[in-house]
Every structure is written in structure tokens, then in C-alpha cells.
Amino acid sequence: MKVFLNYNLVYMNQEMSPLNDKEEVKRLKIQLELEKEHIEQLEKLLNHDPDTGLLQKHVLIQRMRRFIKQKPMGFAYAIIRLDRSYQRIKYTRDRMKVLLYVTSERIKEIVGEKNLYQSDRSDEFLIILPGITNKEKIKRIITRITQKIKEYHNPPASDITFGCHVGVAVFPDHAQQLEDLQINTEIALGIYEHKREQGFIYSPEIGEIYHQKEALESILLKCVQQGFQGFHLVYQPIVNSQNKILGCEALLRWDAPGHGAVPPTQFIPMAEHSGSIHFLGHWVLYHAMNQVKTWRHEMGMDIFVSINVSPIQLESQKFVGIVRDILESLELPGEAIHLEVTESSVMEEPDMIIDKLKQLQSLGIRIMLDDFGTGYSSLSYLNQFPIDTLKIPKEFIDDFPNNPQSMDMVRAILSLARNFGFNTLAEGVELKEQFDSLIAEGCKYIQGFLFSRPIDATDLEELFQKQKSETQPEP
């Protein structure tokens, strides 16, 4: 006898024994139960994620397709992507599974088991909120989820915390088709992830920003490929307590064809996103180093140029070699170069970065920690970092010295730098009062509009010449 089982359907091919045979019926029932169990297990395997036990994305897609077809009600669809601190966790695979599982349980508490799904990516969850289209309500739910995810974990992972970015789009408000809904949710997620904000809800304005950004990003890529079209460097002087120019920071400018000047805060993240920052960064290194070589030769002054390094450049295996090659080809001493690295980029892979920074220092290059105090720094690591100078960001200088909080912050950074043996540079200094107080508090270098805005190489050369003639004794 054969049993063909298709979910609830059983066909029995009866060539044989009479069904009134009780034993045979019992045997068949048992077999049927076993087959059912088998199918349930198979279904579980096919539809559930083995690590989190959550239903997988394709089940959600089917469910959303049904909702959209039958239009019984609107719903919100959200992607929850764990942030970079999650990627940085160095745990065994089993422990990572536990973290993921615990995170999924936390989200489940808020949205319910059947509304949470595992994405194709292991660091991503998907949720559906059936019947919920009110933006305020959605925001409240998402805020609860993001807060819950951030909570510390139990031992042995009690020192671990990570956050997430969220993108949401609503049916039918933001899209009538499933594919558009998915794209718009990705757009909302992408825009906010890019800004390093949590997120969340799609809007036509966000869609517009995204499409403009996409267009500009492709122009940027083309300009980089076509010989760095529209790019040039400007230089902002760095002075000491006597207003003597010791060096300058190289700052990149881009005139995009058809768009005009695009601020670096806008195009640098785009270049990082597309990967063209490697080429652009290389171009900046060469041109800034070549410029400082010219100044040093022409004026016989030991000027330095400080160059911003993107975290993406620093991550590259080739970075140290590139810098070394340019130094050698220009026959430039390392001390003519300062490299500015951000706090977050050094904290991302501390051991690997410490090694690279040490190699750069061995070439005579000085390392500056940019925007110190705005990111996450572990003091224990800071002590080990081969850093020469801490840059105090403009946002702490803005209300200094009149706001007591800014005063405390600046004093704390200056005292920390003293204890660790770092130099300090305050940037964004616009007022004489700020300059005087910073010098009085022991800050070594000053940069800001008070002395000069970022200017072209030729204008800075004039300032150098002026300074030189002022310091030279009368014949």
C-alpha cells in the first residue's frame, strides 16, 4: 500500500487489504501522523531561520502580497539593521547567535512573534505592523524597539551594546505595489544610515533627496574618473600663541558641473559610499604634499600640511605604502605631514589602526585626532594610540569661554592631553576672546576664521611671505 500525502490530503491506493481491518487502520493512522510531523519539520526548516527561529523573508513577502491584493487594511513595513558597533563585535559564531536571538526576542516583545521576520542578512530584521499607518504611532513603536535593542546584554556579553538604523514605508500611503514599498523602505533606511541617524519613515521628500544624491554621486564618480574634474584644495593656516603660522590644514573643494560648489560634508560621504574616496584621497595626499614641498623650498620655512584621512582610506591595506611612496617620490621629510584621523575610525579596529599609525609615525609623520570628544573613545585605548595632537572641535569652542559647560569640556580635554602627553589644537576659533582664553588655558595651536578662512595656495603663500619679511631683521 502507498500513502501519498499532500498537506491534509491523503490518497490511499487500495489494491489490497480490507479497510475494516482494524490493525491496518491503526497502522495507517500512525504512519499518517509521522508523515504529518515530517512535513511540519520540513516546513519549519524551509520557513524559519535556523539561528533565530524567526520566519523568513519569503513568508513575509507572501503575507504582504496577500494584504496588498486583498486590500483589507493598510500596514507599515520596516527594516531594522543593526549598526556598525554590532559588526565590530568579535565573538564566536555561537555567541553571535545568542546575541541575535536575544535581540529578536526583544523586538518580539514589542511587535509580537508573528510580525517579526528574519531578513536575508543576518544583521537585519523585518517587521510588519498590520493595520498601523499612523506615523506618530509607528514612530512610538520604532522608538521603543530602538531603545530596547540598545539595552545591555546579560553576562557574559554584559559589556556589549549596539544600536540600529530603521527604515519604514507605509502601504498604501508610500507605495501601491510591493516592490515600490520595499524600495522606499530601503531608501528611508539608506538615507538615515548614511546620516548615521536612526531613521525612520519614508516621505516623498526623502525619495527626492535620495534620487538627487544618486545623481550627484554618479557625477562625482565621473569627475574622479575624468582626471579629478572640478576638484581643488584650499588651505587654512594653523597658528601658535604668537599668531605665527606653523602649517595649515588642506581642505578639499569640489565644483560639480551643473551644480556649483558642493560642500565636503556632502561629497566626502558620497565618495566613501562609492569607494572613489581611495582615488580622491590619494589625489589629495599627493597635491597637498607637493604643495608643502614647494612652500618649504621657496621660502626655506619648516611648514607642515595637515591632511584629512577618511576611515575608509585608513582601513585599506595599501594606505601606509601610498603615503610612503609619495613622501619618497617628493623627497619630503615625514615631519612636513600631519594626518588627521577621526576618533570613530581609530576606535573601529583599534589594534589594526594602532599598528598603521605607528608605521606612519616611524616615517616622521605626526598624527592628529580630529573632532576629539564627539565620538566614542575608550580612555584605555587612547593611552595606547600613537597620537601627537588632539583637535578640539568647533562645537566645543563655539560657546567658549562664556558657557561654563564648554569651559569645563575644553579644560577637561586640555588636562587629559597634558596627562597623556598630547599637543592640543583648537579649531573654529572666531573670536579674539576665544583665542586669548584658549592660550591662557594652555592650548598650543589655533585654527579658525579669526586668523584666516581656508584660502588658495597662492594667498597662503603671501601670508607666509609677509610673516617671513616681518621676522627677518632689518638690513
The residue ranges that bind Ca ion (CB under 5 A) are: 308, 340, 370
Say how far apart CA 462 and CA 450 lie, in whole Å.
17
User: Is the CB of 191 or the CB of 410 nearer to Ca ion?
Assistant: 410
Q: Interface with ligand C2E includes 255 (CB under 6 A)? A: no
194: cell is 548614511
Residue 268 contacts which entry, ligand C2E, Ca ion, none (Cβ below 5-8 A, type-dependent): ligand C2E
5: cell is 500525502
Residue 301 contacts residue 468 (beta carbons within 8 Å): yes
Residue 284 contacts which entry, ligand C2E, Ca ion, none (Cβ below 5-8 A, type-dependent): ligand C2E
Please, what is the minimum distance in Å from the beta carbon of residue 294 to ligand C2E? 18
Residue 173 contacts residue 133 (beta carbons within 8 Å): yes
Candidate residues 81, 125, 428, 446; the one interacting with ligand C2E per rule CB under 6 A = 428
User: Is the CB of 343 or the CB of 370 nearer to ligand C2E?
Assistant: 370
Cis peptide before 172 (omega within 30 of 0): yes
**Window 447 to 466, contacts with ligand C2E (CB under 6 A):** 447-449, 454
Q: Considering Cα of 313, then 318, then 324, then 326, what sign does the dihedral take?
A: negative
Task: Tell me the site size for ligand C2E, rule CB under 6 A.
Answer: 21
Q: Interface with ligand C2E includes 263 (CB under 6 A)? A: yes
Closest to 397 measured CA to CA, from 419, 424, 421: 424
User: Is the CB of 174 or the CB of 282 nearer to ligand C2E?
Assistant: 282
In the DSSP assignment, the letter for residue 153 is P
Say how far apart CA 263 and CA 252 lie, in whole Å.
9
Say how far apart CA 152 and CA 149 lie, in whole Å.
8
User: Is the CB of 47 or the CB of 377 nearer to ligand C2E?
Assistant: 377
Q: Interface with ligand C2E includes 430 (CB under 6 A)? A: yes
Residue 369 contacts which entry, Ca ion, ligand C2E, none (Cβ below 5-8 A, type-dependent): none
Residue 448 contacts which entry, ligand C2E, Ca ion, none (Cβ below 5-8 A, type-dependent): ligand C2E
Residue 6 contacts residue 32 (beta carbons within 8 Å): no
The number of beta carbons lying within 10 Å of the beta carbon of residue 90 is: 7
User: Is the CB of 239 or the CB of 284 nearer to ligand C2E?
Assistant: 284
Closest to 359 measured CA to CA, from 320, 309, 313: 320
**Window 217 to 246, contacts with ligand C2E (CB under 6 A):** 236
Please, what is the minimum distance in Å from the beta carbon of residue 389 to Ca ion? 11
Residue 269, H or E segment: helix 264-274
Please, what is the minimum distance in Å from the beta carbon of residue 370 to ligand C2E? 5
Please tell me whether residue 423 adopts helix, strand or coil conformation.
Answer: strand
Say how far apart CA 117 and CA 54 lie, in whole Å.
6
The number of beta carbons lying within 10 Å of the beta carbon of residue 233 is: 18
Residue 265 contacts which entry, ligand C2E, Ca ion, none (Cβ below 5-8 A, type-dependent): ligand C2E
Q: Interface with ligand C2E includes 308 (CB under 6 A)? A: yes
User: Is the CB of 145 or the CB of 368 nearer to Ca ion?
Assistant: 368
Please, what is the minimum distance in Å from the beta carbon of residue 253 to ligand C2E? 7
Binding residues for ligand C2E, per CB under 6 A?
A: 236, 251-252, 263-265, 268, 284, 308, 310, 370-371, 394, 427-430, 447-449, 454
